[in-house]
Amino acid sequence: QSALTQPASVSGSPGQSITISCTGTSSDVGSYNLVSWYQQHPGKAPKLMIYEVSKRPSGLSNRFSGSKSGNTASLTISGLQAEDEADYSCCSYAGSSTFVFGSGTKVTVL
Amino acid sequence: QVQLVESGGGVVQPGRSLRLSCAASGFTFSSYGMHWVRQAPGKGLEWVAAIWYDGSNKDYTDSVKGRFTISRDNSKNTLYLQMNSLRAEDTAVYYCARDVAGTIATPDYWGQGTLVTVSS
């Protein structure tokens, strides 16, 4: 149950697109289409942004999109805005009702 | 709207016990799986435990197996986490989260968390 690997930080200018990677193993990310992404502002609870690799919860901006290839999942934020500055964490089902989270990525809007 | 309110956190000595509660409202609690997820100060999220909608299936991360017990009372719309033999490394904000499914698939709505500090 090792944490999924994410870059510690990613930055971009307003309007640009950024992509955050999330690398796991064939036992988690590679085996299940149950990868989710969470946004967390300082001192706040996480908010679900993407589930089942690429699905957006109702009402969420389509600037957020997800994908997966092999053991690596990705979150792309397009048209970066100031309010997107936050920590982002991926999460994958790992079998037998267990889950593993990523190490977290701090997104900075320059 | 979905509301999850955690309680029961505090400062506790190593080796002691603590029980966290999570009061749910705004949805049919008995239809959804539930999770506990924690976040140590300045660290990432760590999944702790999950329980199916009817309590028939539970699982835990390796580091808490045998020490923590997740349970639920569907008549009280409340989720619990009994934490025994606490260690310094259990210090974290503990969040409860609802799953999108009755069984377990993805945590969606989260509470605001309750802080547990294990220290002598």
In the prediction, which pLDDT does B101 show?
85
B56: chain A residues, CB-CB within 8 Å = none
Q: pLDDT, tens digit, for every residue of B60-108?
A: 999 999 999 999 999 999 999 999 999 999 999 999 999 998 888 899 9
Q: Alpha-carbon distance B69 to A81, whole Å?
A: 41
User: Which among B43, B97, B105 is the nearest to A93, CB-wise?
Assistant: B105
Structural tokens at position A21: 């990677």
Largest CA distance in chain B: 40
Look up tokens 């435990």; give the residue: B49
User: Which chain A residue shows the shortest CA-CA distance from B94?
Assistant: A45
Q: Alpha-carbon distance A100 to B34, whole Å?
A: 15
Q: Alpha-carbon distance A49 to A40, whole Å?
A: 10
In the prediction, which pLDDT does A108 show?
97
In the prediction, which pLDDT does A39 show?
98
Nearest Cα to B48, choosing from A102, A51, A99, A45? A99
Look at B57 and A47 and tell me if their CB atoms are within 8 Å: no
Look at B110 and A45 and tell me if their CB atoms are within 8 Å: yes
Q: Would you call A33 exposed, middle or buried from its count of C-beta atoms within 10 A (0-12, 13-18, 19+)?
A: middle
Structural tokens at position B29: 């609690």
Q: Alpha-carbon distance A21 to A72, whole Å?
A: 7
B95 has a chain A CB within 8 A of its CB: yes
User: Which chain B residue shows the shortest CA-CA distance from A6?
Assistant: B44
Please report, to the nearest 10 degrees, the dihedral formed by the alpha carbons of residues B85, B89, B95, B96 taken in order: -40
Q: pLDDT, tens digit, for every residue of A32-82?
A: 999 999 999 999 999 999 999 999 999 999 999 999 999 999 999 999 999
A44: chain B residues, CB-CB within 8 Å = 112
A51: chain B residues, CB-CB within 8 Å = 100, 106, 108
Contacts with B14 (C-beta within 8 Å, 6 or more apart), sequence order: B86, B87, B88, B118, B119, B120
A47: chain B residues, CB-CB within 8 Å = 110
Q: Alpha-carbon distance A57 to A37, whole Å?
A: 11
User: Which among A45, A97, A102 is the nearest to B95, CB-wise?
Assistant: A45
Contacts with A39 (C-beta within 8 Å, 6 or more apart), sequence order: A46, A47, A49, A84, A86, A87, A88
